[in-house]
Amino acid sequence: MYSTRAPSVVAPMKLQATPKDVRPASQPSPQRALEGAWLAEPAGVWVLLPTYNEAANLEAIVSAVLDHLPPIRRILIIDDSSPDGTGRIADHLAESHQDVSVLHRPEKRGLGPAYVAGFRVALEGGARFIAQMDADFSHSPADLPRLLEPLDEADLVLGSRYVRGGRVENWGRVRRSLSRAGCLYARTVLGVGVQDLTGGFKIFRREVLEHLELDSISALGYAFQVETTYRAMRAGFRVIEAPIVFRDRRVGESKMSPAIVAEAAWRVPALRLATTRDLRRAGRLIPRPASSD
Protein backbone atom coordinates (compact mmCIF):
# COMPACT_ATOMS: atom_id res chain seq x y z
CA MET A 1 0.00 0.00 0.00
CA TYR A 2 1.07 3.55 -0.59
CA SER A 3 0.80 6.16 2.12
CA THR A 4 -2.50 7.84 2.86
CA ARG A 5 -0.71 10.95 4.13
CA ALA A 6 -1.63 14.06 2.17
CA PRO A 7 1.10 15.03 -0.31
CA SER A 8 3.32 17.91 0.73
CA VAL A 9 2.88 21.19 -1.09
CA VAL A 10 5.90 22.41 -3.01
CA ALA A 11 6.34 26.12 -3.61
CA PRO A 12 6.46 27.00 -7.31
CA MET A 13 9.90 27.50 -8.86
CA LYS A 14 10.10 29.79 -11.83
CA LEU A 15 13.10 28.28 -13.55
CA GLN A 16 14.11 24.90 -12.25
CA ALA A 17 12.10 21.87 -11.16
CA THR A 18 13.89 19.37 -8.95
CA PRO A 19 12.93 15.81 -8.04
CA LYS A 20 11.35 16.96 -4.78
CA ASP A 21 8.76 18.90 -6.80
CA VAL A 22 7.03 15.60 -7.57
CA ARG A 23 5.11 13.77 -4.87
CA PRO A 24 2.93 10.67 -4.97
CA ALA A 25 -0.67 11.55 -4.22
CA SER A 26 -2.55 9.94 -1.36
CA GLN A 27 -5.39 7.52 -2.02
CA PRO A 28 -8.68 9.11 -0.93
CA SER A 29 -11.85 7.94 -0.59
CA PRO A 30 -19.93 17.73 -36.11
CA GLN A 31 -18.23 21.16 -35.59
CA ARG A 32 -21.73 22.42 -34.93
CA ALA A 33 -21.46 20.85 -31.54
CA LEU A 34 -18.91 23.54 -30.71
CA GLU A 35 -21.16 26.42 -31.69
CA GLY A 36 -23.98 25.96 -29.21
CA ALA A 37 -25.10 28.08 -26.29
CA TRP A 38 -23.18 25.91 -23.82
CA LEU A 39 -20.08 28.06 -24.41
CA ALA A 40 -21.78 30.66 -22.22
CA GLU A 41 -22.13 28.11 -19.41
CA PRO A 42 -18.60 27.06 -18.37
CA ALA A 43 -18.14 23.58 -16.98
CA GLY A 44 -15.68 23.13 -14.14
CA VAL A 45 -14.16 19.88 -15.41
CA TRP A 46 -13.56 19.01 -19.04
CA VAL A 47 -12.42 15.57 -20.18
CA LEU A 48 -10.77 15.37 -23.59
CA LEU A 49 -11.07 12.10 -25.50
CA PRO A 50 -9.03 12.00 -28.73
CA THR A 51 -10.30 9.28 -31.04
CA TYR A 52 -9.24 7.49 -34.17
CA ASN A 53 -11.10 4.27 -34.97
CA GLU A 54 -12.62 3.91 -31.50
CA ALA A 55 -16.16 3.04 -32.61
CA ALA A 56 -16.18 -0.10 -30.47
CA ASN A 57 -15.23 1.80 -27.31
CA LEU A 58 -16.73 5.27 -27.58
CA GLU A 59 -20.25 4.88 -26.23
CA ALA A 60 -19.08 2.85 -23.26
CA ILE A 61 -16.21 5.17 -22.34
CA VAL A 62 -18.40 8.28 -22.55
CA SER A 63 -21.01 6.68 -20.30
CA ALA A 64 -18.36 5.61 -17.78
CA VAL A 65 -16.70 9.04 -17.71
CA LEU A 66 -20.04 10.78 -17.11
CA ASP A 67 -20.71 8.39 -14.23
CA HIS A 68 -17.54 9.51 -12.45
CA LEU A 69 -17.57 13.28 -12.97
CA PRO A 70 -19.18 16.02 -10.87
CA PRO A 71 -22.40 17.59 -12.18
CA ILE A 72 -20.65 20.57 -13.77
CA ARG A 73 -18.65 18.81 -16.46
CA ARG A 74 -18.12 18.41 -20.19
CA ILE A 75 -16.68 15.71 -22.41
CA LEU A 76 -15.04 16.82 -25.63
CA ILE A 77 -14.49 14.10 -28.23
CA ILE A 78 -11.77 15.03 -30.73
CA ASP A 79 -12.10 12.82 -33.77
CA ASP A 80 -9.61 12.76 -36.62
CA SER A 81 -12.06 11.64 -39.34
CA SER A 82 -12.03 8.00 -38.23
CA PRO A 83 -12.90 5.70 -41.14
CA ASP A 84 -14.75 3.29 -38.82
CA GLY A 85 -17.58 5.74 -38.08
CA THR A 86 -16.37 6.98 -34.68
CA GLY A 87 -17.29 10.53 -35.68
CA ARG A 88 -20.92 9.57 -36.38
CA ILE A 89 -21.19 7.86 -33.02
CA ALA A 90 -19.71 10.94 -31.38
CA ASP A 91 -22.32 13.14 -33.04
CA HIS A 92 -25.09 10.86 -31.79
CA LEU A 93 -23.68 11.06 -28.26
CA ALA A 94 -23.55 14.85 -28.45
CA GLU A 95 -27.19 14.91 -29.52
CA SER A 96 -28.15 12.61 -26.64
CA HIS A 97 -26.10 14.29 -23.88
CA GLN A 98 -26.05 18.02 -23.34
CA ASP A 99 -22.63 17.81 -21.69
CA VAL A 100 -20.92 15.99 -24.60
CA SER A 101 -19.46 17.87 -27.58
CA VAL A 102 -17.48 16.91 -30.66
CA LEU A 103 -14.57 18.49 -32.46
CA HIS A 104 -14.15 17.03 -35.95
CA ARG A 105 -10.74 17.35 -37.55
CA PRO A 106 -10.22 16.75 -41.29
CA GLU A 107 -7.49 14.12 -40.99
CA LYS A 108 -5.27 12.18 -38.66
CA ARG A 109 -2.51 14.54 -37.55
CA GLY A 110 -1.20 12.97 -34.39
CA LEU A 111 -2.05 12.81 -30.69
CA GLY A 112 -0.33 16.05 -29.75
CA PRO A 113 -2.14 18.28 -32.25
CA ALA A 114 -5.46 16.65 -31.29
CA TYR A 115 -4.95 17.50 -27.64
CA VAL A 116 -3.76 21.02 -28.42
CA ALA A 117 -6.93 21.61 -30.46
CA GLY A 118 -8.99 20.28 -27.56
CA PHE A 119 -7.13 22.42 -25.03
CA ARG A 120 -8.01 25.52 -27.02
CA VAL A 121 -11.71 24.66 -27.09
CA ALA A 122 -11.75 23.85 -23.37
CA LEU A 123 -10.01 27.09 -22.42
CA GLU A 124 -12.38 29.07 -24.63
CA GLY A 125 -15.28 27.28 -22.96
CA GLY A 126 -14.15 28.40 -19.51
CA ALA A 127 -12.86 25.09 -18.18
CA ARG A 128 -11.26 25.24 -14.75
CA PHE A 129 -9.70 21.77 -14.94
CA ILE A 130 -8.84 19.94 -18.18
CA ALA A 131 -8.36 16.17 -18.10
CA GLN A 132 -6.90 14.08 -20.88
CA MET A 133 -7.27 10.33 -21.15
CA ASP A 134 -7.39 7.48 -23.64
CA ALA A 135 -10.74 6.46 -25.09
CA ASP A 136 -10.01 2.72 -24.98
CA PHE A 137 -10.38 2.04 -21.22
CA SER A 138 -6.64 1.72 -20.65
CA HIS A 139 -7.25 4.65 -18.30
CA SER A 140 -10.06 3.89 -15.90
CA PRO A 141 -12.80 6.55 -15.61
CA ALA A 142 -13.21 5.42 -12.00
CA ASP A 143 -9.85 7.07 -11.24
CA LEU A 144 -11.06 10.54 -12.25
CA PRO A 145 -12.39 11.58 -8.80
CA ARG A 146 -9.13 10.51 -7.15
CA LEU A 147 -7.02 12.43 -9.66
CA LEU A 148 -9.16 15.54 -9.19
CA GLU A 149 -8.68 15.66 -5.41
CA PRO A 150 -4.99 16.72 -5.33
CA LEU A 151 -5.78 19.77 -7.47
CA ASP A 152 -6.47 21.64 -4.25
CA GLU A 153 -2.69 21.91 -3.95
CA ALA A 154 -1.31 20.83 -7.33
CA ASP A 155 -1.36 22.41 -10.76
CA LEU A 156 -0.94 19.17 -12.71
CA VAL A 157 -1.86 15.66 -11.58
CA LEU A 158 -0.40 12.69 -13.42
CA GLY A 159 -1.99 9.27 -13.32
CA SER A 160 1.17 7.26 -12.78
CA ARG A 161 1.90 3.61 -13.51
CA TYR A 162 5.27 3.73 -11.86
CA VAL A 163 4.85 5.22 -8.41
CA ARG A 164 4.06 3.05 -5.41
CA GLY A 165 0.57 1.59 -5.84
CA GLY A 166 0.56 1.94 -9.63
CA ARG A 167 1.02 -0.87 -12.12
CA VAL A 168 0.43 -2.13 -15.67
CA GLU A 169 -1.75 -5.09 -16.56
CA ASN A 170 -2.09 -7.18 -19.74
CA TRP A 171 1.14 -6.03 -21.35
CA GLY A 172 3.81 -8.41 -22.54
CA ARG A 173 7.38 -8.30 -21.27
CA VAL A 174 8.71 -6.43 -24.31
CA ARG A 175 6.19 -3.60 -24.09
CA ARG A 176 6.64 -3.31 -20.32
CA SER A 177 10.39 -3.05 -20.77
CA LEU A 178 10.04 -0.48 -23.57
CA SER A 179 7.75 1.70 -21.47
CA ARG A 180 9.97 1.53 -18.40
CA ALA A 181 13.07 2.27 -20.46
CA GLY A 182 11.36 5.23 -22.14
CA CYS A 183 10.45 6.77 -18.79
CA LEU A 184 13.94 6.22 -17.41
CA TYR A 185 15.50 7.72 -20.54
CA ALA A 186 13.31 10.83 -20.42
CA ARG A 187 13.78 11.25 -16.67
CA THR A 188 17.56 10.96 -16.94
CA VAL A 189 17.97 13.28 -19.92
CA LEU A 190 15.65 15.93 -18.50
CA GLY A 191 16.86 15.63 -14.92
CA VAL A 192 13.45 15.47 -13.24
CA GLY A 193 11.96 13.13 -10.68
CA VAL A 194 8.66 12.28 -12.40
CA GLN A 195 8.44 8.50 -12.60
CA ASP A 196 5.90 8.28 -15.44
CA LEU A 197 6.79 11.01 -17.93
CA THR A 198 5.21 9.17 -20.87
CA GLY A 199 1.82 8.58 -19.24
CA GLY A 200 -1.23 10.13 -20.86
CA PHE A 201 -3.75 10.30 -17.98
CA LYS A 202 -3.46 13.88 -16.69
CA ILE A 203 -5.50 16.71 -15.24
CA PHE A 204 -4.31 20.30 -15.70
CA ARG A 205 -5.40 23.48 -14.02
CA ARG A 206 -6.30 25.94 -16.77
CA GLU A 207 -3.48 28.25 -15.65
CA VAL A 208 -0.92 25.65 -16.72
CA LEU A 209 -2.22 25.40 -20.26
CA GLU A 210 -2.59 29.17 -20.51
CA HIS A 211 1.09 29.49 -19.65
CA LEU A 212 2.44 26.76 -21.93
CA GLU A 213 2.09 28.68 -25.22
CA LEU A 214 0.18 25.99 -27.05
CA ASP A 215 1.38 27.22 -30.45
CA SER A 216 4.91 26.18 -29.55
CA ILE A 217 4.06 22.54 -28.71
CA SER A 218 5.22 20.53 -31.69
CA ALA A 219 5.37 16.87 -30.60
CA LEU A 220 3.03 14.62 -32.54
CA GLY A 221 2.98 11.32 -30.63
CA TYR A 222 3.76 10.22 -27.10
CA ALA A 223 6.62 12.72 -26.87
CA PHE A 224 3.78 15.20 -26.37
CA GLN A 225 3.22 13.75 -22.90
CA VAL A 226 6.84 14.32 -21.94
CA GLU A 227 6.91 17.82 -23.39
CA THR A 228 3.83 19.15 -21.60
CA THR A 229 4.83 17.79 -18.20
CA TYR A 230 8.43 18.95 -18.45
CA ARG A 231 7.47 22.43 -19.60
CA ALA A 232 4.96 22.74 -16.76
CA MET A 233 7.65 21.81 -14.24
CA ARG A 234 10.18 24.22 -15.68
CA ALA A 235 7.57 26.98 -15.45
CA GLY A 236 7.31 26.33 -11.70
CA PHE A 237 3.97 24.57 -11.57
CA ARG A 238 3.38 21.94 -8.90
CA VAL A 239 3.17 18.35 -10.16
CA ILE A 240 1.80 15.35 -8.28
CA GLU A 241 1.79 11.71 -9.40
CA ALA A 242 -1.20 9.63 -8.33
CA PRO A 243 -0.99 5.84 -8.72
CA ILE A 244 -3.21 4.19 -11.33
CA VAL A 245 -3.64 0.74 -12.79
CA PHE A 246 -3.10 0.88 -16.53
CA ARG A 247 -4.82 -1.91 -18.47
CA ASP A 248 -4.26 -2.67 -22.13
CA ARG A 249 -7.10 -1.63 -24.40
CA ARG A 250 -10.27 -3.75 -24.41
CA VAL A 251 -10.81 -3.80 -28.18
CA GLY A 252 -9.24 -2.21 -31.22
CA GLU A 253 -5.63 -1.73 -32.22
CA SER A 254 -2.83 0.08 -30.44
CA LYS A 255 -1.67 3.35 -32.00
CA MET A 256 1.96 2.72 -30.98
CA SER A 257 4.39 2.59 -33.91
CA PRO A 258 8.16 2.69 -34.53
CA ALA A 259 7.78 6.28 -35.76
CA ILE A 260 6.26 7.34 -32.44
CA VAL A 261 9.11 5.71 -30.52
CA ALA A 262 11.69 7.35 -32.77
CA GLU A 263 10.11 10.78 -32.32
CA ALA A 264 10.27 10.46 -28.56
CA ALA A 265 13.92 9.38 -28.71
CA TRP A 266 15.09 12.54 -30.46
CA ARG A 267 12.62 15.03 -29.04
CA VAL A 268 13.59 14.45 -25.41
CA PRO A 269 17.20 15.66 -25.73
CA ALA A 270 16.05 18.40 -28.12
CA LEU A 271 13.64 19.59 -25.45
CA ARG A 272 16.41 19.65 -22.85
CA LEU A 273 18.77 21.54 -25.15
CA ALA A 274 16.12 24.09 -26.11
CA THR A 275 15.33 24.80 -22.47
CA THR A 276 19.00 25.15 -21.54
CA ARG A 277 19.56 27.48 -24.48
CA ASP A 278 16.65 29.68 -23.50
CA LEU A 279 17.84 29.94 -19.89
CA ARG A 280 21.41 30.69 -20.97
CA ARG A 281 20.19 33.47 -23.23
CA ALA A 282 18.26 34.90 -20.30
CA GLY A 283 21.30 34.60 -18.04
CA ARG A 284 19.41 32.40 -15.61
CA LEU A 285 20.86 28.95 -16.16
CA ILE A 286 20.51 26.76 -13.06
CA PRO A 287 22.55 23.59 -12.63
CA ARG A 288 20.76 20.38 -13.51
CA PRO A 289 19.34 18.62 -10.44
CA ALA A 290 20.53 15.20 -9.44
CA SER A 291 18.35 12.23 -10.36
CA SER A 292 15.97 10.96 -7.68
CA ASP A 293 16.85 7.35 -8.49
Distance CA 243, CA 22 (A): 13
Torsions phi, psi for 189 (to 5 deg): -65, -40
**Alpha-carbon distances of 29 from 21, 25, 146, 205, 225, rounded to whole Å:** 24, 12, 8, 22, 28
- How confident is the model at residue 273, as a pLDDT? 82
Element (H, E) at 267: helix 258-282
> Quick check: 257 pLDDT over 60?
no
Mean pLDDT along residues 124-143: 96
pLDDT score for 290: 44
So what's the pLDDT on residue 207? 97
Cα–Cα distance for residue pair 180/164, rounded to 1 Å: 14
More confident residue, 220 or 248: 248
| 177 vs 245: which has the higher pLDDT | 245
pLDDT of residue 282: 58
Q: Do 52 and 80 form a contact (C-beta atoms < 8 A)? A: yes
Task: Give the per-residue pLDDT at 88.
Answer: 98
Q: What is the pLDDT of residue 264?
A: 65
- Residue 290 or residue 20, greater confidence: 290
pLDDT 10s digits, 188-210: 999 999 999 999 999 999 999 99
Of the pLDDT bands very low, low, confident and very high (cuts 50, 70, 90), residue 286 is very low
pTM value is: 0.79
Q: Which pLDDT value is given to residue 265?
A: 75
In CATH, which superfamily holds the domain spanning 19-282?
Answer: Spore Coat Polysaccharide Biosynthesis Protein SpsA; Chain A (3.90.550.10)
Q: Per residue in 179-211, is it b (16+ CB within 10 Å) or e — as a string?
A: bbebbebbbebbbbbbbbbbbbbbbbbbebbee
For the chain, percent of residues with pLDDT exceeding 90: 59
Helices (H), 160-257: 173-190, 206-211, 223-234
Q: In whole numbers, what is the pLDDT of the chain averaged over residues?
A: 81
> Stretch 207-217: mean pLDDT, rounded?
93
Q: Strand pairing partners for 242?
A: 159
Taking only the tens place, the pLDDT of each residue in 64-74 is: 999 999 999 99
